[in-house]
Amino acid sequence: MIHFVLLISRQGKVRLTKWYSPYSQKERSKVIRELSGIVLNRGPKLCNFVEWRGHRVVYRRYAGLYFCMCIDEADNELEVLDIIHHFVEILDRYFGSVCELDLIFNFHKAYYILDEVLIAGEFQESSKRTIIRLLSTHDSMVEMAKEEATSIGNMIAQVTK
Amino acid sequence: MALSGMRGLSVFISDVRNCQNKEQERLRVDKELGNVRTRFKNEKGLSPYEKKKYVWKMLYIYMLGYDVDFGHMEAVSLISAPKYPEKQVGYIVTACLLNENHDFLRLAINTVRNDIIGRNETFQCLALTLVGNIGGREFAESLAADVQKLLISSSCRPLVRKKAALCLLRLYRKNPDVVNVDGWADRMAQLLDERDLGVLTSSMSLLVALVSNNHEAYWSCLPKCVKTLERLARNQDIPQEYTYYGIPSPWLQVKTMRALQYFPTVEDPNTRRSLFEVLQRILMGTDVVKNVNKNNASHAVLFEALALVMHLDAEKEMMSQCVALLGKFIAVREPNIRYLGLENMTRMLMVTDVQDIIKRHQAQIITSLKDPDISIRRRALDLLYGMCDVSNAKDIVEELLQYLSSADFAMREELSLKAAILAEKFAPDLSWYVDVILQLIDKAGDFVSDDIWFRVVQFVTNNEDLQSYAAAKAREYLNKPAIHETMVKVSAYILGEYGHLLARRPGYSPKELFTIIHEKHPTVSTSTIPILLSSYAKILMHTQPPEPELQNQIWTIFNKYESCIDVEIQQRAAEYFALSRKGASLMDILAEMPKFPERQSALIRKAEDAEVDTAEQSAIKLRAQQQMSTALVVTDQRPPNGMPAQPSIGPLSLVKVPSETVDSQNPGDQGLTHPNGVVYKEDPQPPSQDIIGDLLGTLSIEGPPGAVAQSPQSATYEAEGAPSAADAAALVPVGEESGSVQPIGNINERFYALCLKDSGVLYEDPNIQIGIKAEWRAHQGRLVLFLGNKNTASLGSVQALILPPTHLKMELSLVPETIPPRAQVQCPLEVMNLRPSRDVAVLDFSYKFGPTMVNVKLRLPAVLNKFLQPITVSPEEFFPQWRSLSGPPLKLQEVVRGVRPLPLPEMANLFNTYRLTVCPGLDPNPNNLVASTTFYSETTRAMLCLVRIETDPADRTQLRMTVASGDPTLTFELKEFIKEQLVSIPTAPQRPQGPAAPPPPVAQITAPPPAASQDPGALLAGLL
């Protein structure tokens, strides 16, 4: 299973963390520190796997952003690499040519999208179309709620005018 | 840019990004935290929108790495908000901030449950996701039933059910009891008929978890898995959206094959056939293409297929196909494939007997040891370690030594430990072993743990032939201007003990030895001084007649240290000083250290303990244990004569182990490795050049200039806190000494004893005793193995496998998987002798005690003489027979030299115990001996054998032997058998056993506290 997912920028900034195994606050910071040290210092053209504390970390760099997933040694590394890329493709389709800034200002959406790809550290859905459809339903529900709120707000405003 | 729709949040994120340095960032964050905190305090004034915004801000701050120790309550409380936008934020933020052990989570159980059993599909999804991601035991107990209902409900849409499947998987991991096996197995099988591939993927993950614990209950799922795999691999009826780079869901394929690996076999021949067809298709049909993503996906499937083939232990042909594939993989340019090739080769080592084919890739694997990528280097090291055996140990260990000088610090300790273990286990001769360890210490002294040099001292002490060699080597190293302190310790110890053996050589006089050791004295730390003092005392003792000048020098040193602050040093100095004035009694007290009792190497034990329990590492462990018996033989007084296949004379070669016969059958298969036609074109493009690799290529352009200017700074401050890769050193020996199991008594001696008698103990260790009772009638025999559990806990995973040589037909009745506490299990074993042969059957026995897997290979005493019946023949019967068998191949004669001298009556006794009846009076010459016997096998039936031994009273170490029978093979085998018995009679133990060894005198005299002791003798005694 995937124990955690990390998105780290080339400068070592954390863009997303998701923990499927119970790590305490302290352990989480330690893991991030250690792994960014290891992953960011790896040169190009090396393999996408790093051995770390009896686990494997599968990572891939997209522009300035490193997507890392930590798995058990017995797991299938390439399968996880496919998951990373699948996730990136969905982000790309959702944001339309995604870039790091999209993920910074919409980090909450990135979390929501990740929840459609993984649950319990296991792969959930391989159809991009299904996921994108769900995401747009979700967005429209938020929009609807917002409009409702504004219309109620307007009504209140008109009434109290 | 501000897609978030929450202005306040976007403004805050921009502010943080615009901070010039870490300090500014902290100020801005602290300000915001204060703001959020006050807002939360007067919660009444917060609109749901504001609450949502602040909770997001908290998550963002938390992600930046700041402690957010408040506001958890607010996040959790949003879960119960009535509207979707707030509820959703509550669920996501809670799942990010908290982990399963958090108390606040309990507060949410009820709300979560209401959402799960409620009618709102969207809320169900949110709740299932949260529970799936951070649900703990309590969630498992209160929610599992509801989640199961959703999963099998026909009214739920796939989007809910796939989440329910993974949610249930999480709950099952937290508490396996929540899934009731009896009720659930059928449901699980039904789930595999699911048409929606999303639900099927999640269900398959669930199945993998379930079968990994209990495959028995889920047999009915096996054929469905094979069907699913077939459908995917043939791309039948797979919706376009479920293909990934043209490959039908690689994830589902991998999961399905993973599930199949938890079933021990596929019994149904039809299912088996279709499964192998699919696997064959995957193995053959996967090519390396330009698109890196397609490559990754197809190879994810391919590597899983390889694992499944290995698990199923497929036909030889398919196996060699796999090895051939892996052989190509480890040479391709694409680093991922190279890495996985090496990893899977290591896994392959344990599963099947393909070592010889893998060995052909040794050169390529050694090249990978110099790969620029440390991940690949580690895999190569592991593989080399796993594939090492007597035949290639020299090459591999020397490569490791060479690599040691240039290796990363992160790998050096592991590297030296592995080199030391391999050198010990597979040393073709012991002097080579000493060379290796000394080189190790010389090249990487800092990374050589004490155990390694203790072990070499132990070997030298126990092997007389080695002592002068080691002393000479030690002397050579001391000549070097700068040596590692560990080298000073070993050299001083060895020269102190054995330097006197070389006293006649130039440069080895006591005076010179003392001088060269003492030269190092100023450079060493206090931990080494006690060893130096012992060395000096020993040199002094060996100086006969005493040299006053040397004596004075050494006394001065003792004198000086008599007031040392270190108790250990002080005590030694005082005692040695006093002793050295006692003259003769000094000789007794400082006499050579006695031999150490034979034990399993502490190194190997530690390596085993330190290894994490993962697939391929446990493979190495397994192999290490299998080879334990070899290791014991190696440490025997007799150095092994290289290749075990070489016929040699001595107790080791009394019998041939049948595995050689198996090996010799392999070459036939080796030709089959290539024709499978899988083509691996090297990808000319580096992986990152792929189209999707450029997905975010626009990023640097879009980023504001501020971000670019900031990057070098932030890179520095982030890097400062980052630990170096060195912290990740993998194999650090731990101090624990327990956990491995030692045999009690000598396995070899037990075997030889059982060759002569029919009942006795074959093997014993602290957990189990294996007794044997045998009855032989003509060419048949019935053995009963008595497996006795000595413990008060039961022994699990008991497995007994008979590896019979070709001439024996053996059938072992069922061996139970567990032996109850203090119980004895009897397992009858039927033996039938087909042909005369000296090969010996081997019992491959393993069991699990607690976490330790114990595996031993034991020779079974179903040897040639068991099929002999003594028979007395009269001269009237003897002579016509003797004459009719006129010459080779029925009658063979040989002059045997190097016979262990025996008086004639004793030799006659020996023959009688091997069931060859000595017939006195047949030969007129009193120095000769004539014996007869009947040999039984299925092909020869009862066959009379006649033996004549002519001894030379002047030289009892040689004799002439003539053996005759009606079958050429029998004549030859019997002659060799008798020869082996005469040349070395392996019944009596050749060296004193454990209790006979007196306690080390030095330890007695100095009586050091064991923990503080630096004397290797005392330490070794404690360690081993």
Tell me if B8 is assigned to a ligand binding site: yes
Size of interface A-B (CB pairs under 8 A): 268
Tell me if B508 is assigned to a ligand binding site: no
Taking 50 as the threshold, does the pLDDT of residue A156 lie above it? yes
Domain membership of residue B14 (yes or no) is yes
Cα B844 from Cα B365, distance rounded (Å): 30
We report the CATH number of the domain holding residue B494 as 1.25.10
pLDDT for res B603: 65
Nearest CA in chain A to B87: A142
Nearest CA in chain A to B52: A108
CB contact under 8 A, B372 and A46: yes
Same domain, yes or no, for A131 and A94? no
Domain membership of residue B320 (yes or no) is no
Nearest CA in chain A to B690: A62
Taking 80 as the threshold, does the pLDDT of residue B257 lie above it? yes
Cα B145 from Cα B994, distance rounded (Å): 61
Same domain, yes or no, for B852 and B934? no
Pair type for strands A55-62 and A65-72: antiparallel
Same domain, yes or no, for A116 and A132? no
pLDDT for res B5: 61
pLDDT for res A17: 93
Taking 70 as the threshold, does the pLDDT of residue B984 lie above it? no
Cα A68 from Cα B214, distance rounded (Å): 32
- The two structure tokens encoding residue B92: 């996501």
- The two structure tokens encoding residue A36: 């960014």
Taking 70 as the threshold, does the pLDDT of residue B514 lie above it? yes
Asked if A77 contacts A56 with a C-beta cutoff of 8 angstroms, the reply is yes
Q: What are the tens digits of pLDDT across the range B571-582?
A: 888 888 888 777
Q: What is the average per-residue pLDDT within B114-135?
A: 91
pLDDT band at B608 (very low <50, low <70, confident <90, very high): low
> Closest Cα to residue B216, out of B270, B165, B173, B265?
B265
- Shortest Cα–Cα distance, A157 to chain B (Å): 16
Asked if B408 contacts B436 with a C-beta cutoff of 8 angstroms, the reply is no
Same domain, yes or no, for A43 and A89? yes
Counting residues of chain A whose pLDDT is more than 90, the rounded percentage is: 65
Q: What are the tens digits of pLDDT across the range A84-119?
A: 999 999 999 999 988 999 999 999 899 999 999 999
Nearest CA in chain B to A23: B99
Same domain, yes or no, for A136 and A97? no
Same domain, yes or no, for A38 and A89? yes
pLDDT for res B575: 86
CB contact under 8 A, B340 and A77: yes
Asked if B319 contacts B312 with a C-beta cutoff of 8 angstroms, the reply is no
Same domain, yes or no, for B909 and B827? no
Pair type for strands B928-937 and B247-248: unpaired
Cβ-Cβ contacts under 8 Å, B232 against chain A: none
pLDDT for res B689: 40
Q: What is the average per-residue pLDDT within B701-728?
A: 38
Q: What is the average per-residue pLDDT within B167-196?
A: 90
Residue from the list A76, A141, A146 with its beta carbon closest to the beta carbon of B300: A76
B56-70, B312-326, B923-937, B965-979 — which is least confidently predicted?
B312-326
Same domain, yes or no, for B848 and B876? no
Mutate to test the interface with B, among A76, A80, A88, A132 (most CBs of B within 10 A): A76
B114-123, B137-146, B567-576, B679-688 — which is least confidently predicted?
B679-688
Same domain, yes or no, for A50 and A28? yes
CB contact under 8 A, A15 and B49: no
| Structure ipTM | 0.94
Which structural domain, as residue segments, surrounds residue B145?
Answer: 2-250
Taking 50 as the threshold, does the pLDDT of residue B653 lie above it? no
Cβ-Cβ contacts under 8 Å, A145 against chain B: 83-85
pLDDT for res B172: 93
We report the CATH number of the domain holding residue A30 as 3.30.450.60
CB contact under 8 A, B335 and A47: yes
Q: What is the average per-residue pLDDT within B398-403?
A: 87
Same domain, yes or no, for B447 and B579? yes
CB contact under 8 A, A97 and B687: no
- The two structure tokens encoding residue B810: 């053996």
Domain membership of residue B73 (yes or no) is yes
CB contact under 8 A, B304 and A85: no
Q: What is the average per-residue pLDDT within B415-444?
A: 86
pLDDT for res B605: 66
Domain membership of residue B670 (yes or no) is no
More confident residue, B353 or B10: B10
- Shortest Cα–Cα distance, A8 to chain B (Å): 11
Tell me if B57 is assigned to a ligand binding site: yes
Same domain, yes or no, for A14 and A40? yes
Tell me if B53 is assigned to a ligand binding site: yes
CB contact under 8 A, B339 and A49: yes
- Of these ranges, B348-357, B496-505, B671-680, the one predicted with the greatest mean pLDDT is B496-505
CB contact under 8 A, A102 and B375: no
- Looking at A12-127, list the stretches that DSSP marks H as alpha helix, in order from N- to C-terminal side: 25-40, 77-95, 100-105, 107-117
pLDDT for res B632: 30
Same domain, yes or no, for A95 and A147? no
Same domain, yes or no, for B845 and B869? no
We report the CATH number of the domain holding residue B934 as 3.30.310.10
Nearest CA in chain A to B101: A22
Tell me if B763 is assigned to a ligand binding site: no
We report the CATH number of the domain holding residue B224 as 1.25.10.10
Same domain, yes or no, for B435 and B469? yes
CB contact under 8 A, B96 and A17: yes
- The two structure tokens encoding residue B748: 């070899």
CB contact under 8 A, A126 and B688: no
Q: What are the tens digits of pLDDT across the range B5-50?
A: 678 888 999 998 888 888 999 999 999 988 888 888 876 667 777 8
Same domain, yes or no, for B82 and B158? yes
For chain B, the straight-line distance linking the first and the last C-alpha, in angstroms and rounded, comes to: 68
Predicted TM-score (pTM) of the model is 0.64
Taking 50 as the threshold, does the pLDDT of residue B726 lie above it? no
- Angle of helix A77-95 relative to helix A107-117, nearest 10 degrees, comes to 130
Residue from the list B13, B59, B695 with its beta carbon closest to the beta carbon of A92: B695
More confident residue, B872 or B711: B872
pLDDT for res A116: 93
B138-147, B522-531, B624-633 — which is least confidently predicted?
B624-633
**Considering its fold, how many domains does chain B have in total?**
4
Same domain, yes or no, for A99 and A145? no
Domain membership of residue B287 (yes or no) is no
Which structural domain, as residue segments, surrounds residue A159?
Answer: 127-161
Same domain, yes or no, for A64 and A119? yes
Same domain, yes or no, for A79 and A96? yes
More confident residue, B6 or A49: A49
Same domain, yes or no, for A19 and A37? yes
Mutate to test the interface with A, among B62, B208, B251 (most CBs of A within 10 A): B251
Q: What is the average per-residue pLDDT within B660-673?
A: 38
CA atoms within 13 A on the CB side of B732: 11
**Considering its fold, how many domains does chain A have in total?**
2
- Looking at B290-369, list the stretches that DSSP marks H as alpha helix, in order from N- to C-terminal side: 292-312, 316-329, 335-351, 355-359, 362-368
Same domain, yes or no, for B556 and B701? no
Q: Name the maximum alpha-carbon separation found in chain B.
A: 123
Check if A93 contacts B (Cβ < 8 Å): no
We report the CATH number of the domain holding residue B850 as 2.60.40.1230
pLDDT for res B289: 84
Mean pLDDT over each residue of chain B, to the nearest integer: 78
Taking 60 as the threshold, does the pLDDT of residue B620 lie above it? no
Same domain, yes or no, for B849 and B977? no
pLDDT for res B609: 57
Cα B649 from Cα B632, distance rounded (Å): 18
Check if A34 contacts B (Cβ < 8 Å): yes
Cα B873 from Cα B921, distance rounded (Å): 11
Same domain, yes or no, for B146 and B11? yes
Interface of A with B in 50-69 (CB under 8 A): 50-54, 61-65
Domain membership of residue B442 (yes or no) is yes
- Shortest Cα–Cα distance, A52 to chain B (Å): 6
pLDDT for res B508: 82
Domain membership of residue B315 (yes or no) is no
pLDDT for res B740: 67
